């Protein structure tokens, strides 16, 4: 049996260091601090080169030069979570959507709370843009990375749209 290479990389960003995790050629995680620990004991090896394309695309995003990512993704979660994460990918760069809008998009308009929980368990933050989900009244609501980071990411996208 052939097993996929398990790789990770840590890179600086405007929201602090981010941890990238890859299985084979698919990104399975992008985490802000605190990072999952003990990766080596789980068979992961630090390999910045294996994650070079992801790192390059994120650097372009930080500079406001990239609005969409072209990275093979393999988030692990329930079927419902995966539907929510797919809906997050449809939120345009620099725009936001409410939890109720995402709930309606995944076919369960009353599942706002479940959407919030799935959003909070998104293992590939930034690329799967959970930071673009806001409250129905337009307020910034919970974000696993902290509201300060959510604000930085939304401002970064808005500024890039104004420049371009």
Band of pLDDT at residue 1, cut at 50, 70 and 90: low
DSSP state string for the chain: -----EEEEEE--BTB-EEEEEETTEEEEEEESSPP--TGGGT-EE-TTTTHHHHHHHHHHHTT--SS----B-----HHHHHHHHHHHTSPTT--EEHHHHHHHTT-TT-HHHHHHHHHT-SBTTTS-GGGEE-TTS-----TT-HHHHHHHHHHHHHHHHH-
Q: How confident is the model at residue 137 (pLDDT cuts 50, 70, 90)?
A: confident
Selected catalytic residue, list 20, 130, 133, 156: 130
Contact 128, 75 (CB under 8 A): yes
CATH class of residue range 6-62 = alpha beta
Residues 38-48 have pLDDT tens digits of: 888 888 999 99
Catalytic site includes residue 130: yes
Q: Which tokens belong to 164?
A: 């371009």
Q: Where are the domains of the chain?
A: 6-62, 79-163
Residues 19-66: tens digit of each pLDDT: 999 999 999 999 987 666 788 888 899 999 999 999 999 999 999 999
Mean predicted confidence (pLDDT) in 8-28? 94
Q: pLDDT at position 3, please?
A: 62
Give CATH for domain 79-163: 1.10.10.10
- Token representation of residue 89: 């990918």
């Amino acid at each position: 049996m052939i097993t996929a290479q398990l790789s990770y990389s840590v890179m600086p960003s405007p929201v602090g260091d981010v941890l990238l995790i890859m299985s084979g050629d698919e990104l399975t995680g992008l985490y802000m601090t605190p990072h999952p620990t003990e990766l080596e004991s789980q068979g992961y090896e630090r390999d910045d080169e294996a994650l070079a394309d992801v790192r390059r695309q994120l650097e372009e995003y930080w500079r406001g030069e990239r609005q969409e990512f072209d990275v093979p993704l393999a988030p692990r979660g329930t079927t419902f979570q995966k539907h929510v994460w797919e809906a997050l990918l449809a939120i345009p760069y620099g725009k936001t959507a409410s939890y109720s809008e995402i709930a309606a998009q995944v076919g369960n308009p009353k599942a706002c709370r479940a959407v919030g929980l799935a959003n909070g368990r998104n293992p590939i933050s930034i690329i799967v843009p959970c930071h673009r989900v806001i409250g129905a009244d337009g307020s910034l609501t919970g974000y696993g990375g902290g509201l300060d980071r959510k604000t930085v990411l939304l401002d970064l996208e808005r500024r890039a749209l104004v420049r371009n």
